[in-house]
Structure 1
């Protein structure tokens, strides 16, 4: 038994993590990869002149539903594996770094900027661990395939996690047919492994009655931030963009299947059903901060909020929010008051244990 599997079993036996056969199977595969990395270490020094380095092992694409422990097992692998240089980064932060490097390369009049960027990244990481691969932006979609080709050709081993199977990446994206070779590349050059645990560990950290917080105050802001950290394991998420009908929808914070917005960012801007549907398709949990009390002359904001909640409800998205009022007090009178009665009912149902899962109410 090598170090990574042994460490997983040690943490399980110490009660630090729950026994989970699906997780352990993925850890065993990561343990095997760690051994392969050690055995394929490139020759160095004088020996490098006479001995050809062995080919690098295949990396892993680990996918599964939110909260199943994908990030935890990848981080355990990253912390334990003996290889250098190595890098662990969130996928969206990685792509932002790539775009900055591409811009700098183009400023120097490089004909094909992806080539030197891929080479530089490969020099910096023999092992590259990417958390939460989720391609939602056409700019990322059009370069990620060639970027990965360059990294793999240079010998970088890639391990990535995703909520989506490879075939579901960039689903319904603009010019998706140009993205399909990247999916084929993943299946050819990485071992695709499903983490099919029956347990959503993150949701077990939340009680359903905590998810709609009133009134707006420093205390409820702090409670929402605590919920965010419990569900995402991070203080602040990464910004990202989603393509919606050929334009960008900016997500201020995204992490581990959760997106975070203010009410103004969702309902005071000219957004509509396609935007809300794109959010529902990409995020199982949505945080909405500072829902105000809406007087009758804020009919447009009230209408957008109705559309937002209808979309989230139909997609079974979980909602965490801070609000000036309880649901029935948000929009008590106005042109859309009748429609808002359904919204009130849905907001209450979305706070229930059955909506979040009975295990959550019991924790």
Structure 2
């Protein structure tokens, strides 16, 4: 049983996956794409005129965290019996694109996007992305041209996962009109599959790992580190190579995200609350990531009033967009800001932090309201 669907069925039969109608439908569509890619060869007219055959139609899988998108992508890529395939995290891919465009621009030979796409497509028939998310204005501006060239000019089949439907990508982003042709392209060239079932499979992987770990120290750090690897499927032995990111905050400002993978971000408390930040910055984080890990939260006295206020704004933003929070701290939430200006109001933050640890909150989809 080497095909995508056979492998999926074997996992269900073995009890490693629960039966899920939406996952099954997605597995069937992915199997059909596998079949098309594996039997796809240039026709007579393609060979005669040295042209690229039209690629099999791609797939855009979207859904909340833990709905099985990465698992299905794993099965698809692992069982796809062609050599000319490539899987890459979307953020890493766009960094590569930026570098290639810079090289092509230096040649001063017209629009650099097409030649960059041609270089990416060399030796690749199927390009698979983990977690398509667009936060960068520069990326948003070129994506329509880039993917039009990859799909229509270079004959590359694109398969991607995302936490959002196509129409919600780069929502409220700066100059979003430049991005809209990319959304149209996705809907024209890719089948859009929703995985929105009620079961969050990734939460099962967390096992007994709690959200809040205290006191600060190696044991707490080890717990959130383990949560990160379980949530992202990243191999712990390759921890040194976890990708970072620069989150676009608007107005030409960016925020360095030390670890950024599959919708999970890791920050230090000092980076988020020790610097002058406002609610808009925290909302940008909450929109971009379904899970945020904050390490090194201290107990704050009256002399750290500003940090406590910023932390309150951070928690408000994460709570409003149903972001999962994991943390290492010097105290339980109720002991973080026991005295000082605004400590009475901080009680609401404590209440929200406690709610964010509940099973009901953890089961909510990213961005869900109400």
Please give the TM-score of this superposition, normalised by the length of structure 1. 0.91
Write out per-residue CA displacement over residues 68-127 of structure 1, whole angstroms, 9 at most, x where no aligned residue: 111111121111112231100000010011111112222333332212110011113111
Q: How far apart are 1:357 and its partner, in Å?
A: 4.2
What corresponds to 1:158 in structure 2?
Answer: 158
Conservation of the 8 A alpha-carbon contact between 2:22 and 2:195: yes
SS across alignment from 1:199:
coil
Conservation of the 8 A alpha-carbon contact between 1:209 and 1:352: no
Conservation of the 8 A alpha-carbon contact between 1:293 and 1:331: yes
Please give the alpha-carbon distance, in whole angstroms, between the structure 1 residues aligned to 2:319 and 2:334. 17
Please give the alpha-carbon distance, in whole angstroms, between the structure 2 residues aligned to 1:325 and 1:137. 36
Please give the alpha-carbon distance, in whole angstroms, between the structure 1 residues aligned to 2:149 and 2:329. 48
Please give the alpha-carbon distance, in whole angstroms, between the structure 1 residues aligned to 2:41 and 2:161. 24
Conservation of the 8 A alpha-carbon contact between 2:2 and 2:79: no
What corresponds to 2:368 in structure 1?
Answer: none
Please give the alpha-carbon distance, in whole angstroms, between the structure 1 residues aligned to 2:6 and 2:318. 42
**Residues 52/336 of structure 1: CA separation in 2 closer, same or farther (3 Å cut):** closer
Q: How far apart are 1:277 and its partner, in Å?
A: 1.3
What corresponds to 2:60 in structure 1?
Answer: 61
Q: How far apart are 1:52 and its partner, in Å?
A: 6.5
Please give the alpha-carbon distance, in whole angstroms, between the structure 1 residues aligned to 2:326 and 2:319. 13
Q: How far apart are 1:49 and its partner, in Å?
A: 4.5
Write out per-residue CA displacement over residues 250-269 of structure 1, whole angstroms, 9 at most, x where no aligned residue: 32222233221110111011
Write out per-residue CA displacement over residues 26-82 of structure 1, whole angstroms, 9 at most, x where no aligned residue: 0100111111113322369xx945787642211111111111111111121111112
Q: Compare 73-82 and 330-339 and name the one that shifted more.
A: 330-339
Please give the alpha-carbon distance, in whole angstroms, between the structure 1 residues aligned to 2:207 and 2:342. 31
SS across alignment from 2:293:
strand
Correspondences of 1:284-295 after superposition (within 5 Å): 284-295=290-301
Q: Compare 210-219 and 17-26 and name the one that shifted more.
A: 17-26
Q: How far apart are 1:158 and its partner, in Å?
A: 0.6
What corresponds to 1:326 in structure 2?
Answer: 332
SS across alignment from 1:124:
coil
Conservation of the 8 A alpha-carbon contact between 1:208 and 1:353: no
Conservation of the 8 A alpha-carbon contact between 2:273 and 2:307: yes
Write out per-residue CA displacement over residues 217-269 of structure 1, whole angstroms, 9 at most, x where no aligned residue: 01110111011112221245532233333332332222233221110111011
Note if 1:336 corresponds to 2:342: yes
Q: Compare 161-170 and 339-348 and name the one that shifted more.
A: 339-348
Please give the TM-score of this superposition, normalised by the length of structure 2. 0.90
Structure 2: any 5+ residue segments left out of the alignment? 365-370
Q: Compare 219-228 and 53-62 and name the one that shifted more.
A: 53-62
Please give the alpha-carbon distance, in whole angstroms, between the structure 1 residues aligned to 2:20 and 2:309. 44
Q: How far apart are 1:294 and its partner, in Å?
A: 1.6
**Residues 156/162 of structure 1: CA separation in 2 closer, same or farther (3 Å cut):** same
Note if 1:16 corresponds to 2:22: no
Correspondences of 1:264-343 after superposition (within 5 Å): 264-343=270-349
Q: How far apart are 1:353 and its partner, in Å?
A: 3.1
Please give the alpha-carbon distance, in whole angstroms, between the structure 2 residues aligned to 1:163 and 1:279. 15
What corresponds to 2:95 in structure 1?
Answer: 96
Q: How far apart are 1:209 and its partner, in Å?
A: 7.0
SS across alignment from 1:338:
coil
Q: How far apart are 1:10 and its partner, in Å?
A: 1.7
Please give the alpha-carbon distance, in whole angstroms, between the structure 2 residues aligned to 1:285 and 1:197. 19
Match of 1:240 among 239, 245, 250: 245
What corresponds to 1:125 in structure 2?
Answer: 124
SS across alignment from 1:337:
coil
Please give the alpha-carbon distance, in whole angstroms, between the structure 2 residues aligned to 1:26 and 1:353. 27
